[in-house]
Amino acid sequence: MATALSNAALRAALYRMLLMRRAEEEVIDLATNHENEIRGHYHVYIGQESSGLGACLALGPDDYVWTTHRNHGHVIARGGEPGPVIAEVIGRTNGYNKGRGGTFHVIAKHLGILQTSGIVGGCVPMAVGAAFSIKTRKTDQVSLVFFGDGVLEEGAFHEAINMASLWKLPVIFMCENNSVPPEGREQGQYPSSSLAATQLIDVPNAMNIESHIVDGSDIRAVAPLLSDLVVRARNGEGPFFVESRLTRWPGNMGAFPELIGGPYQIGWVWDPSTADAALQSWLTDSDPIALFARALVEEGVMSKAEVEADDAKASAEAADAKAFALSGPIPEPESAMDYIFA
């Protein structure tokens, strides 16, 4: 069983979450205020930081992480620097994927992130494949795949989890269900509008995969659970399914992200009533950063001033990251013909 995070680790975790959020705000700024930097659709991880970070903290350097179109936060959670992440989002060659992938495919090989798929469910079979490779090569690596609740509607999911279960592979299915209201996050049944199951975990349970529901907004619930499952997966006890329940950030309700009331203000953590009406209940009940920061202050791990200082530092780091990205070279047009084949 994992030991509780130390105070230093808790503080580092809060910093990382702030950095993830501030980096995504810079992405939104690039989309909104800089012409042509982000031409198409993009997705931000605001409001889910605790889930991705909690899972990534459980992993070792040689493990594989697979994710989706909503990958920016995962890459940073996994240890990626915001500069090359944002550079990739705007297609510059100093991005992790050298500008080839853009927002849908922020791939970072050195972090074990080999693919992110823009196709719903696209990465689940590949993640199982990595686990198959691990088991064949007899290493103690683990393959962890992040995906959303929508993936359970895809046939690819069924086929992949069936084989993972049949062959007892070291893969952790980390399903981030961001359609759960606050009262549904911890327990009880939560119906989905597009899946006929009463609860998501009914499906992997039917396939004899050990499944857990966790409050994704609570990093201190996610981290120990995932730590435990990762150890057990290395031991050949996998696969595992985790439904990480989150309440969607109101800025992610529309087709494009929207910074309701402007960039996040740390003061909202202490007094949500000062925020835009649309954000208040989310800030009170569901914002992972607010919940974590309040708890750390209450427990005496950090002071409000320290939280605010860390936030300022994270904001500065994110701003530097944006500058790094904007200074990155645009790919040479002819390089479109490169790297078709090895």
Residue ranges binding another protein (CB under 8 A): 64, 66, 97-101, 105, 107, 109, 114-115, 117, 119, 122, 124-134, 136-137, 143, 153-163, 165-167, 194-198, 202-203, 205-209, 338-342
6 vs 139, which CB is nearer to another protein?
139
Nearer to another protein, 116 or 247 (CB): 116
Smallest distance from the beta carbon of 312 to another protein, in angstroms?
34
Q: How far is the CB of 77 from another protein (least distance, A)?
A: 20
Find the shortest distance in angstroms from Cβ 52 to another protein: 20
Instruction: Name the minimum Å distance from CB 318 to another protein.
Output: 25
Residue closer to another protein, measured from CB, 196 or 305: 196
Q: Please, which residue, 141 or 247, has the CB nearer to another protein?
A: 141
Compare residues 203 and 266 and give the one whose CB is closer to another protein: 203
**In whole angstroms, how close is the CB of 160 to another protein at the nearest point?**
5
Shortest Å, Cβ 129 to another protein: 2
Nearer to another protein, 4 or 167 (CB): 167
Three-class SS of the chain: CCCCCCHHHHHHHHHHHHHHHHHHHHHHHHHHHCCCCCCCCCCCCCCCHHHHHHHHCCCCCCCEEEECCCCHHHHHHCCCCHHHHHHHHCCCCCCCCCCCCCHHHCCEHHHCECCECCCCCCHHHHHHHHHHHHHHHCCCCCEEEEEEHHHHHCHHHHHHHHHHHHCCCCEEEEEEECECCHHHCCCCCCCCCCCCCCCCCHHHHHCCCEEEEEECCCHHHHHHHHHHHHHHHHCCCCCEEEEEECECCHHHCCCCCCCCCCCCCCHHHHCHHHCCHHHHHHHHHCCHHHHHHHHHHHCCCCCHHHHHHHHHHHHHHHHHHHHHHHCCCCCCHHHHHCCCCC
